[in-house]
Structure 1
Amino acid sequence: MTTNLTDGAPPPVPEHGMDVWFVGNRSALFWLALKAGFWTVLTLGFYRFWMKTRLRRWYWSAIRPGGHPLEYVGDPWEKLLGFFIAVVILTFYIGIVNLLLMFVSFSFFQNSFVGYFTSAIGVIPVWFYAQYRARRYVLGRTRWRGVRFGLEKGAWGYAWRALVHWLLTICTAGLLWPRMTFYLDKYKTDRTFFGSAKMLQGGRWPMLYRAAWPFMVAILCSTALIVTLVWLDPLFSREDGSWSAFFEDIDTLIDSETFDVGWERPFRLLLLIPALLGLIYGAVHYRFASKRILANHKHAVGVQMSSKLNSLRVSMIYVLGTTIAYFILIGGVVGIVLLAFVLLGPDTFIQAQLGASNPFGDWPRWVSLGVLGALYLSVFLFWGVLHNAFVTFPLMRHMAVTLRLENTAGLSQVSQRARDEFAEAEGFAEALDLGAAI
């Protein structure tokens, strides 16, 4: 049913909640990502700001709460300018601050380790700052039914809170991870607006332990397996049963031509594979099950969210999508190598791999390097296209269709909010490689 708009007013709000639709087509996304990736390679990476903008507009328009699409109105020129601003600031940090840190390190500690360590620690708060700023920019450039989303200022507040929560989580060996997840998400949610409506994160942090149990079980099983293989029923036959003996046997195994170091039932090492898969599944389950629990406790005045996100389905998307993407990518790389082998001939191809000849014959060196650089970029950008088609697309579709607005009475009272201005847009996220994903 199509609703006619009068004087630019938004369509009426349904009385009994609304589902979220997803109307995108995988093949359309694939060709869009492929064309945008081609122009990104052709422009040596500068088109990526336009590529990200086009992909976001596609995804946003495919997500339709109550049948009305989201809108992404971000400007690629904002992203490009913001990237340059962030690079200038980070260059100052890397060039000046790191120089001072290295001077102090050599002056007082007679080594460079303290300087490098302090420099790495100093980047962490900037990393969290960039995360929050990128989220604020994306929300500030997102609209639904003509009304803007928004996020209050507070990037440095988020950064120091994230540092404290991470420190507590590390000191408690991960036991307070749900606490960190809850309070960091609450900090962002409680500062999020849809027009004049402020969102709130309800609930309490212990409720996230329900999402963490597969990961906890995987950690306990992995720990029990390692203890068994090292102490209770050790792989090695030495009497001392120490870690040093274990690692000595590993070194012997690597250096031995016969791979015979006298281990007891070495096939038990295969149990490490399901243990690793269990850890991966547990991490993915926690990430998305916690999102579902948090979403079910998000609300505004007269608006209530509900999510039925299936963490097992999400895990299957990751496993199958990543496998398909890698399979196609590896097949493409092998095809390029075989084509080069056929075109160049066996002798020239082998000499080129050894650096004894130029695979491009009499071409200038800069042309050869340009061709190799283009091929290098093409491989990674093609991986991005495959990841969009087989991982991001089904993941966003599943997250959209499992979301519902149970109570929408408050939407009729929402008014417009002012447009947020950003000097550096997502520049820090781009410069720190946090903005590659949609």
Structure 2
Amino acid sequence: MGVDFAGNRSALFWLALKSGFWTVLTLGFYRFWMKTRLRRWYWSSIRPGGHPMEYVGDPWEKLLGFFIAVVILTFYIGVVNLALMFISFSVFQSSVMGYSASFIGVIPIWFYAQYRARRYVLARTRWRGVRFGLEKGAWGYAWRALVHWLITICSAGLLWPRMTFWLEKYKTDRTYFGSAKLEQGGHWWMLYRAAIPFGAAVVGLVLWAMWIIGIDPLLTGMEGVIDDLVENPNDDMRFEQAFFNFAHPERLLLVFPLLMLLIYGAVHYRFASKRILADHKRSGAIRMRSGLNSLRVSVIYVVGTTIAYTLLFVGLLAIVGLAFGLLDMDMLFDIGAGEFNPLGAVPRWLATGLLAMLYLGVFLFWSVLHHVFVTYPLMRHMAITLSLVDVAGFSTVSQRARDEFAEAEGFAEALDLGAAI
């Protein structure tokens, strides 16, 4: 069974622009409705076997869940921070330990929110009337994620594929389509082939750094220079000899292709690992097959983000130029004196309002272009390269009960995790 994608780019552009405009106009409150409408559009465009997916999430659920999460997080962070700062000042006579412990204390909630957001999205997704679902287990995922991240950091990143596999397996093995339970097969070391480009880039950067620092130093004539500078810190000639006497400076240009390879390797690993994991997902006899092309995904990322961020950069420059034209330049240097004198006949409130609206408008168009040139082609490519094998097993799938939970994906919204669309 193949998967079609029926969405039209121009329709998405106008939907994202219109919903984004209302989000700006309502100072962000409409974003729950915007996210719901965009998800419904994307979901209905993905059509396994010609049958569209459905997203039945309610924006009021999201809004209420956001308020609930904010109240809980405010109480938790406020009380915990107060206790941590008291202990930090009492024991260490410093606030550094308190701030560090406070940051670490938020990390488990971050993983908890990720799992809860995925659970909500699956619970509000249907295909041919049958609901998806994810079992409870957010705190189990949070502590597992902490342990895997600690192991990965201690291994200097060498065990990153191990973390990717086991965290995805934890979520997949608790995922349902109706009564059918999904399983993640395979082994974690199979993901190492997806990490080859990224590993090659890291090795290349390390070798390059060793070359220009140790083997054939970029800065020559350093013998005795440091001691001379300590004795005569005002010796400008010696300073120039130390820091401006380069040997073969063209070697610095090698860093650019290595950084490009590093970026490509990161994108390649992210999506190639998704393809490998998808090929080992199954539910009984039903299996997934993914033909996702990592090079195609990298091109989408590079082209799409370049277009979106170019508009953002140009728009912000235009706003700065307009601000110089509308506002009295003395204001930029005499802010403390309270001087804010518009030029000409333009009222103060009008100049400020115009700049604020243009600022929000630039970010609105950036978001729209990101949807059109990044999210849309990525979802389309991931959909049309996916297929299902041995689909006769769908005949035994029955409906599952609706998953009810009050805070929806409020924690992900409150922590700004950008959960799915």
What TM-score do you get using the length of structure 1 for normalisation? 0.87
Question: Structure 2: which 5+ runs fail to align?
Answer: 229-234
Output aligned runs, 1:412-427, within 5 Å: 412-427=395-410
Pick from 275, 285, 309: which aligns with 2:258? 275
The aligned counterpart of 2:85 is 102
The aligned counterpart of 1:428 is 411
The aligned counterpart of 1:176 is 159
Preserved contact between residue 352 and residue 359 of structure 1 (Cα < 8 Å):
no
* CA distance, structure 1, for counterparts of residue 148 and residue 243 of structure 2: 47
The aligned counterpart of 2:231 is none
What is the CA distance between 1:310 and its match in structure 2?
0.5
Preserved contact between residue 426 and residue 435 of structure 1 (Cα < 8 Å):
no
The aligned counterpart of 1:141 is 124
Deviations 1:127-172 (A, max 9, x none): 0000000000000000000000000000000000000000000001
* CA distance, structure 2, for counterparts of residue 87 and residue 304 of structure 1: 40
Deviations 1:173-215 (A, max 9, x none): 1111111000000000000000000000000111001101111
Pick from 373, 378, 381: which aligns with 2:364? 381
Pick from 268, 281, 284: which aligns with 1:285? 268
* CA distance, structure 1, for counterparts of residue 352 and residue 139 of structure 2: 42
* CA distance, structure 1, for counterparts of residue 210 and residue 318 of structure 2: 45
**Which range moved further: 219-228 or 377-386?**
377-386
The aligned counterpart of 1:329 is 312
What is the CA distance between 1:242 and its match in structure 2?
12
- Look up the equivalent residue of 1:277 and give its one-letter code: M
SS at the partner of 1:305?
strand
What is the CA distance between 1:243 and its match in structure 2?
12
Deviations 1:69-101 (A, max 9, x none): 000000000001111111111111221110110
Cα gap change, 1:225/1:414 in structure 2, threshold over 3 Å: closer, same or farther? same
* CA distance, structure 1, for counterparts of residue 144 and residue 307 of structure 2: 38
Output aligned runs, 1:213-224, within 5 Å: 213-224=196-207
Deviations 1:302-326 (A, max 9, x none): 3110000001110000001111112
* CA distance, structure 1, for counterparts of residue 103 and residue 411 of structure 2: 16
Pick from 187, 202, 212: which aligns with 1:204? 187
SS at the partner of 1:325?
helix
Indicate yes or no: 2:83 matched with 1:74: no
The aligned counterpart of 2:141 is 158
What is the CA distance between 1:422 and its match in structure 2?
1.6
* CA distance, structure 1, for counterparts of residue 150 and residue 191 of structure 2: 19
The aligned counterpart of 2:232 is none
Pick from 20, 40, 58: which aligns with 1:57? 40
What is the CA distance between 1:336 and its match in structure 2?
4.5
* CA distance, structure 2, for counterparts of residue 268 and residue 389 of structure 1: 39
Pick from 108, 132, 139: which aligns with 2:115? 132
Pick from 22, 29, 33: which aligns with 1:39? 22
What is the CA distance between 1:42 and its match in structure 2?
0.4
Question: Structure 1: which 5+ runs fail to align?
Answer: 1-17, 246-251
- Look up the equivalent residue of 1:137 and give its one-letter code: Y
- Look up the equivalent residue of 2:55 and give its one-letter code: Y
Preserved contact between residue 430 and residue 436 of structure 1 (Cα < 8 Å):
yes
- Look up the equivalent residue of 1:42 and give its one-letter code: L
Indicate yes or no: 2:265 matched with 1:265: no
* CA distance, structure 2, for counterparts of residue 24 and residue 80 of structure 1: 27
Preserved contact between residue 319 and residue 355 of structure 2 (Cα < 8 Å):
no
Indicate yes or no: 2:287 matched with 1:304: yes
Deviations 1:102-144 (A, max 9, x none): 0000100111111000000001100000000000000000000
Pick from 289, 292, 301: which aligns with 1:318? 301
* CA distance, structure 2, for counterparts of residue 155 and residue 277 of structure 1: 36
Cα gap change, 1:379/1:259 in structure 2, threshold over 3 Å: closer, same or farther? farther
The aligned counterpart of 1:20 is 3
Cα gap change, 1:140/1:437 in structure 2, threshold over 3 Å: closer, same or farther? closer
SS at the partner of 2:158?
coil
Preserved contact between residue 288 and residue 389 of structure 2 (Cα < 8 Å):
yes
* CA distance, structure 1, for counterparts of residue 266 and residue 222 of structure 2: 37
Preserved contact between residue 70 and residue 411 of structure 2 (Cα < 8 Å):
yes
How many residues are paired up? Answer: 408
Cα gap change, 1:328/1:198 in structure 2, threshold over 3 Å: closer, same or farther? same
* CA distance, structure 1, for counterparts of residue 330 and residue 128 of structure 2: 62
Deviations 1:320-369 (A, max 9, x none): 11111122333334445556666x4xxx464455455344867466x765
Preserved contact between residue 186 and residue 200 of structure 1 (Cα < 8 Å):
yes
SS at the partner of 1:127?
helix
Indicate yes or no: 2:386 matched with 1:403: yes
- Look up the equivalent residue of 2:160 and give its one-letter code: W
The aligned counterpart of 1:13 is none
Percent sequence identity is 70
SS at the partner of 2:99?
helix
**Which range moved further: 389-398 or 235-244?**
235-244
What is the CA distance between 1:269 and its match in structure 2?
1.4
Preserved contact between residue 287 and residue 389 of structure 2 (Cα < 8 Å):
yes
SS at the partner of 2:29?
coil
Cα gap change, 1:242/1:222 in structure 2, threshold over 3 Å: closer, same or farther? farther
* CA distance, structure 1, for counterparts of residue 105 and residue 289 of structure 2: 39
* CA distance, structure 1, for counterparts of residue 359 and residue 418 of structure 2: 20
- Look up the equivalent residue of 1:152 and give its one-letter code: E
What is the CA distance between 1:259 and its match in structure 2?
12
Deviations 1:200-259 (A, max 9, x none): 0000111001101111111100100011111111111244699999xxxxxx99xx9999
